[in-house]
């Protein structure tokens, strides 16, 4: 396949999937778009990895949301914060059928996970069967497959199932979101042995309010999972908006978010 790359590049010149600018090879971003990604960095919350910024508290501190509602997960490892660049990539991947973006997005997620853990179980956030039929693929499952290839666990694509279709959670309060998702997600009874006593990596493309991932973490814990970490490409936090409009870093990809609340 490598021998064919020059031919492929000649017929289909490599382009940035975000803005369309010419790039050196397929599967990469241009310098400007790469610099527009907000990469979370320490110091961050010891429980959920919410970045505090350079002026925030030091190692071991816990953010206000986690103090108010201690999470059941064992950390959220996001490749980026949700900015204009990451939004374009997510929309192209999820709704634009640009499934070829999965390897690049997964590599960025893998960079946040540390050393590979092949014994870990990778479980994607599920789609309801009607939404899966309409879209044609589960974007979380595609990311999970790529993370498996990178050595970060064993993919159990049907570990979780969506029992019923739920409406958009936008505009709903915390209690309303919980009621909406109550009973909507469950561990597939055929996969209980893949969950009980295992370290789970729950994968999704975007974490917004966290309501969906909370529902998934809850049922995984109730089914006997030992540890549940959440991995995503983009995480929606207010500070990401500030990061997107801040001056570009001199080194592409090192921009971090200002202090979180």
Look at residue 261 and tell me whether its pLDDT is greater than 50. no
Q: Is residue 151 part of a domain?
A: yes
Residue 259 has pLDDT above 80, yes or no: no
55 close to 63: Cβ distance less than 8 angstroms? no
Structure tokens at 228: 């549940």
Q: Where are the alpha helices (DSSP H) in the chain?
A: 5-11, 31-35, 64-68, 84-94, 102-113, 129-135, 139-149, 174-181, 192-195, 211-222, 238-245
Q: Helix or strand or coil: residue 47?
A: coil
According to DSSP, the residues that pair with 232 across neighbouring strands are 78, 204
70-81: pLDDT as tens digits = 999 999 999 999
What are residue 162's DSSP bridge partners? Answer: 185
CB count, 10 Å around CB of 11? 7
Q: Give the list of residues 6+ apart from residue 124 with CB closer than 8 angstroms, or none.
A: 138, 140, 141, 143, 144, 155, 157, 159, 160, 202, 203, 204
How many domains does the chain contain in total?
1
Identify whether 27 is part of a domain: no
Question: Residues 58-65: what's their mean pLDDT?
Answer: 87
Higher pLDDT, residue 38 or 6: 38
Q: What is the CATH number of the domain that holds 128?
A: 3.40.50.2020
Neighbours of 173 (CB within 10 A): 10
Task: Give the chain's end-to-end CA distance (angstroms, integer).
Answer: 48
Q: What pLDDT was estimated at residue 107?
A: 96
User: So what's the pLDDT on residue 72?
Assistant: 92
What confidence score (pLDDT) does residue 188 get? Answer: 95
- Exposure string over 155-169, b if 16+ CB within 10 A, otherwise e: bbbebbbbeeebeee
- 29 in any annotated domain: no
What average pLDDT is seen over the chain?
A: 83
In a domain, 193, yes or no: yes
Length of the chain as a residue count: 261
In a domain, 1, yes or no: no
Most confident of 45-54, 124-133, 199-208, 232-241: 199-208
Q: Which residue has the tokens 């409406």?
A: 167
Tell me whether residue 124 is in a domain: yes
Closest CA to 122 of 81, 72, 88, 77: 77
Residue 55 placed within a domain: yes
The pLDDT of residue 8 is 43
Torsion sign, CA atoms 190, 194, 200, 201: negative
More confident residue, 26 or 112: 112
5-19, 40-54, 134-148, 240-254: range with highest mean pLDDT: 134-148
Task: Give pLDDT tens digits for 141-191.
Answer: 999 999 999 999 999 999 999 988 776 665 656 677 777 777 789 999 999
Helix crossing, 102-113 with 84-94: angle to 10°?
A: 130
- Contact residues for 6 (Cβ-Cβ < 8 A; gap 6+): none
70 within a domain of the structure (yes/no): yes
Question: 73 is in which domain, residue-wise?
Answer: 36-166+174-245
**Average pLDDT value for residue range 12-21:** 82
pLDDT at 248 over 70: no
Residue 62 CA, chain-centre distance (Å), reads 21
């Amino acid at each position: 396949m490598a021998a064919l790359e020059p031919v492929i590049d000649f017929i289909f010149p490599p382009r940035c999937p975000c803005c369309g600018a010419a790039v050196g090879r397929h599967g990469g971003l241009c310098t400007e778009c790469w610099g527009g990604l907000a990469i979370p960095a320490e110091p961050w919350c010891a429980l959920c990895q919410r970045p505090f910024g350079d002026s925030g508290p030091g190692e071991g501190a816990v953010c206000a949301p986690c103090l108010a509602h201690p999470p059941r997960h064992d950390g959220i490892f996001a490749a980026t914060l949700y900015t204009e660049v990451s939004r374009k990539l997510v929309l192209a991947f999820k709704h634009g059928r640009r499934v070829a973006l999965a390897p690049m997005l997964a590599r960025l997620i893998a960079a946040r996970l540390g050393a590979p853990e092949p014994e870990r179980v990778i479980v994607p956030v599920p789609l309801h069967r009607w939404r899966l039929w309409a879209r044609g693929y589960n974007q979380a499952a595609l990311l999970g497959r790529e993370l498996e290839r990178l050595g970060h666990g064993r993919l159990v694509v049907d570990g979780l199932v969506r029992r019923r279709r739920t409406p958009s959670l936008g505009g709903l309060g915390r209690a309303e979101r919980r009621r909406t998702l109550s009973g909507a997600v469950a561990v597939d009874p055929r996969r209980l042995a893949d969950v009980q006593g295992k370290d789970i990596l729950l994968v999704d493309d975007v974490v917004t309010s966290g309501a969906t991932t909370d529902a998934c973490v809850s049922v995984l814990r109730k089914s006997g999972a030992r540890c549940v970490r959440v991995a995503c490409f983009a995480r929606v936090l207010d500070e990401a908006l500030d990061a997107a409009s801040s001056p570009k870093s001199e080194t592409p990809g090192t921009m971090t978010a200002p202090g979180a609340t």
